[in-house]
Structures are given as C-alpha cells and as structure tokens.
Chains A and B, each alone.
Chain A
Amino acid sequence: MSTVISVSGLRKSYGSNVAVAGVDLSIQKGEIFALLGPNGAGKTTTVEILEGFRDRDSGDVQVLGFDPSTKGAAGQAWRDRIGIVLQSTSDAGDLTVYESVSHFAHYYKSAKDPREVIELVGLTDKADALGRTLSGGQRRRLDVALGIIGNPELIFLDEPTTGFDPEARRAFWALIRKLRDEGATILLTTHYLDEAEALADRVAVINRGKIIEVSTPAHLGGRATSLATISWRDGAEVKTGQSAEPTQFVQNLAAQFGGEVPELSVKRASLEDIYLKMIGDLNA
C-alpha cells in the first residue's frame, strides 16, 4: 500500500470567506474514497486544489508524489497520470463518441485503445453517434471515457451519476469497481449516500471547510454500534423496538412467537441518517 493523495493543513479562502479551513486527508493506492459534504462545505475547492485547478493558500498537498500546483512541463507529465471527470459538460456535440475519445487519446503517452474504452463504458452501440444525440446517462459515460482514456493511476469523479436511472447507476458502479480492480485509485464526490455506501472503501465527511470524520461507510458516525430498529407484525399491529443487541432481541421475539416472526426486519441507521445527523449537529 502506498499513499496516492496526502493533504495536511490545507487552507483556502476567497476574500473573507474561508472555503477550506485546515483539511488533512490520506488516500491509499487502490482505494475508492468518497468525499461527502453539503454544498458550500469546501468539497469542490478541496478537490479542485487536488486536481491542480486552483492554488491553495497554505498546507502540504501531494498527489501521486507531486505538488498539483506545479506548472509547466512537469505539471503536464503529472496530468498524464491522472484522469478527471468533471461535473456535467455539454461540449463536443458535433463529434462522434469515437472521434472524441480517439482525439483525447492523442494527449497521453500510454493511452488505452479508444474502442476498448468505449466498450468498457458501454457505448459501443453509440460509437458513431454525435455527442449531442446522446442521453444524459450516455453523455456521462462519454465523460468517463474521456477521463480514463489516458490510463490514469488516479481518477477524480465529480457527481458521476447525477441524472442516471437506477439501472444505469448500477452499471456505472460496476464500471467504477472494474477500474479500481485494474489498479486505479478513485476519489469520488457525490450527493448520493447510497452511492458512497455501495462504492466507497472509506468516506470522509467535510463541513464548513473541515473534515469531521473519516471512516468506512459501515462505521461512520458510530453507525456499526448505533441502536438497531427491529420491526415485526403482532396480530393486526406493526410493532417496532430499538436495541443495542438486536440478535438477542430477535431471539426473544422468536421464542415469543415459537419460531418465525411475522414481517421481521432489523435495520441499522442508514448512511444517510448518520450523515444528516452529523451535518445537522454541526449546523444547528
């Protein structure tokens, strides 16, 4: 395991508005890391500093062992190793999918085969379609194809599945996992907590320019040890109970019913519940 992104004491202000107020982060090779936070929390600024789009005020930032604020030829060599999928774009409407992807391949030293990348994102049937004829989801997959054509070691994904239908999202998640399995590290920002839960090895919650917590989706905000909610049917009535020891609770119920408990369900707080509580506590 080696560290792909390391950030310490990162700060950035716009005038009197402090966007990033001392962020520390460490992301390991081969991880899918999700950065969560409300709008205006400093998420975009942080990511754009890591992508080399913005300069920082202070702090140490290393991305693939390199300071992203470096300009010139060294900066270009670094860009050869990263892939950026920005938020929704609408350019290149007059080019076909194949033309766009194969053109971007010219920018990189060891680009992938455009046809293979198009296949990978599931656009083979649309390879000869003009960009402006693509649906929202297809358009997004083209964005991803352009982001990964250079065979990047590190991929930035900004709100990748906004506007996707559920089936397309599942297919997209499978694609992201595949890229990771091939060795890429992925930094994901998303508003969808279920997406973070499905994909991320670790998540960080950022609010008011600071990282509140970094954890696995299952453990964030004490989620693994939070009270479980058990619900079941007792005659005409649906009953619920909360317990720190749900196994024991269910065993008691089973004994009470003499076997199968009608309509039994055991639920932990969802990542969304935990997240909203964390954000809410701080903003209250």
Chain B
Amino acid sequence: MLKSSGFKSSGFKSSGRNPNAISIGLERGKLEMKQFMRQRESVVFTMLFPLILLAIFGSVFSENIADGVTFSQYFVAGMIASGLVNTGFQQLAIMIPMERDFGTLKRLRGTPMPASSYFIGKAILVTLSMLIQVALLLAAGVAFFGVDLPTSAEKWLLLAALLVLGSACSTVLGIAFSNVPKSGRGASAVVSPVVIVLQFFSGVFFIFTDLPQWMQQVAAIFPLKWMTQGARSIFLPDSFATREVAGNWETGRTFAIIAAWLVLGLIWAVRSFKWERD
C-alpha cells in the first residue's frame, strides 16, 4: 500500500521534466502497439487474412502466368501493396472515428499533449503493423507457395523505399478519410468496400492487364494501382515488365504519383481533422 503523505510535493519521475512532442509521441506509439496487440480479433484479421487469401489464390490459380512467374509470385506483390493500404488507410480510417465516438480524442484535446504526438503514435502503429504484415506475407510465401525473394540489393532498396513512401501515403490518407464515416460503428462499412473495390480495380486479385480498359484507367488515378505495380517491379523478373501497360515498370512515375497522393493526403488531413464529432 502506498501512503498518501507527501502527496502534493511528489512529482512523477524527476521534477522539471519537459515533455516534448517527440517523447510523448513515442509513448503514444508504445500505447498504440499495446492496444493493437490486445485486440485479438483485429490482429488476426489484419495479419492473417492476407495469408488466407494467399493460400486460396495460390491454390486456385496454380499455373504459371508467364515464363517462371507463378500466380502466387504476382499475388504476393499485390498483397504487399494491399498491406500498405490495410495497415495505414483502412486501419486508421476505421479506428479514428471510433476514438472520436469513444471520447478518446476529446480527452486528449483537453491535455497538454501536442497534436503531433498523436499522429507520431499512429505512424508508429502503422509502420510496425505494416512491417509485421509484410514479413508474414514474405515468410508464408517463401515457405508454402514457392515465392522468390528479390536477389539484388537494388531491389531490396527499392522495396524499402516503396514501403516507406507507400506507408506514409496510406497513413495520411487514412487520417484524412477518418472524417468521412459519420460514426465509429459505421466506419468499417464505409471504408472496407472502398478498399476492396480498389483492390479489384488495381490488379491485386487479377492480372492488371487482363482487366477491362476502363477499370485500368480508373485504378490509375488511385495510389494502390501504383503500389502494386511498384511491388511487381520488385518481386517479378524484369522480363515481365513488357507485360505491363506501358511496357516497362514506370518506376519514376510510380513514386511520383504515390508522393503526390502523400502531399494531397497531408493537406486534406491537416485541414479536415476533427477531435470531436459534430
């Protein structure tokens, strides 16, 4: 039992602490991860669902789609891009409206916590869950579906760049889109169809160039199509590039469009973010 004597004078840790946006942001990141790992259903859904899909698609489409390219190889690239969207956009656009409904955000607004710390915490959550997701996909792909990992350092670097930029883009868009669902309860119903439709249009489940022309054109507006194409440029042999729409990987354009969405999402998020439901 603690005695409450000396209660008034006892400061937490040393006196004269100076909490700043980054130290508080790191604390928030820890807290976000703790909560994430404790929500068993969402961990299972977010982390295992892509593996289940990989198992299904890998079994259904067992023939090669090109010389030495299995459908699983193609699909893993799409699922990694999807992982960026799931752990950033989808996770945040569902989670933040719930936090708004529960009063979490209003409570935080009433404390000296800087707003940036909240977003640092979310970015940590997205980054770690994304890395777990990608690692699980690659491990399962290699172990069970004969997926080949990139062999050159250059491709691994490109993967790192795609994960960093793609995840950042997905995060800000998730924060921005969190103002769209009217309530926390309805958020999943609003956000999930957007993601699933985009996945179909962007060539995650099917070979992109097999899709109708108009679908390809719609998909080209949104970042997921470019994320999947970027992932293919890493996981598929360069000989496959001729089967892309432009006949090559369009790496520069891919990164430019994802970066443009990042900037757009950032502006949208900063302008529209609300701490309370209207």
Binding site for B on A (CB under 8 A): 51-53, 76-77, 79-80, 82, 84, 86-92, 94-95, 99, 102-116, 119-120, 124, 130, 146, 149-151, 182-183
Task: Give, as a whole number of angstroms, the nearest-CB distance from B99 to chain A.
Answer: 7
Given contacts A86-B110, A103-B27, 4 further A-B contacts (CB under 8 A): A52-B110, A91-B102, A107-B112, A112-B11
| Alpha-carbon distance between A113 and B15 when the two chains are bound, in angstroms | 11
Q: What class of interface size applies to chain B in its complex with A?
A: 20 to 34
Please tell me if B103 contacts chain A, counting CB pairs below 8 Å: yes
Contacting A53 at CB < 8 Å: which of B15, B27, B106? B106
Q: Is the CB of B27 within 8 A of A116?
A: no
User: What are 26 inter-chain pairs, A to B, with CB distance below 8 A?
Assistant: A51-B110, A52-B110, A53-B109, A53-B110, A82-B110, A88-B103, A89-B103, A91-B99, A92-B35, A95-B35, A99-B31, A104-B111, A106-B19, A106-B23, A106-B24, A108-B12, A109-B17, A111-B11, A111-B12, A113-B2, A114-B12, A115-B2, A116-B2, A120-B4, A124-B1, A151-B11
Q: Is the CB of B111 within 8 A of A105?
A: no
Residue of A nearest to B26 (CB): A106
Taken residue by residue from 8 to 38, chain B's Cβ proximity to chain A (1 for < 8 Å, 0 otherwise) reads as 1011100111110001100100010011001
Binding site for A on B (CB under 8 A): 1-2, 4, 7-8, 10-12, 15-19, 23-24, 27, 31, 34-35, 38-39, 99, 102-104, 106-107, 109-114, 276
Residue of A nearest to B102 (CB): A91
Q: Is the CB of B110 within 8 A of A94?
A: no
> What number of residue pairs across chains A and B have CB atoms under 8 A from each other?
106
Q: Is the CB of B10 within 8 A of A113?
A: yes
| Alpha-carbon distance between A106 and B25 when the two chains are bound, in angstroms | 10
Q: Is the CB of B7 within 8 A of A108?
A: no
Task: Give, as a whole number of angstroms, the nearest-CB distance from B110 to chain A.
Answer: 4
Contacting residues, chain A, for B39 (C-beta < 8 A):
94
A86 and B24 in contact, given A107-B113, A112-B11, A114-B12 (Cβ under 8 angstroms): no
Contacting residues, chain A, for B8 (C-beta < 8 A):
182-183
- Give chain A's interface secondary structure class: loop
Task: Give, as a whole number of angstroms, the nearest-CB distance from B144 to chain A.
Answer: 32
| Alpha-carbon distance between A108 and B111 when the two chains are bound, in angstroms | 8
Task: Give, as a whole number of angstroms, the nearest-CB distance from B96 to chain A.
Answer: 12
Residue of B nearest to A76 (CB): B112
Task: Give, as a whole number of angstroms, the nearest-CB distance from A148 to chain B.
Answer: 11
Residue of A nearest to B35 (CB): A94
Q: Is the CB of B111 within 8 A of A150?
A: yes
Residue of B nearest to A110 (CB): B11
Contacting A109 at CB < 8 Å: which of B1, B19, B23, B31? B19
Contacting B110 at CB < 8 Å: which of A79, A119, A120, A151? A79
Task: Give, as a whole number of angstroms, the nearest-CB distance from A87 to chain B.
Answer: 8
Contacting A90 at CB < 8 Å: which of B15, B18, B102? B102
| Alpha-carbon distance between A182 and B4 when the two chains are bound, in angstroms | 12
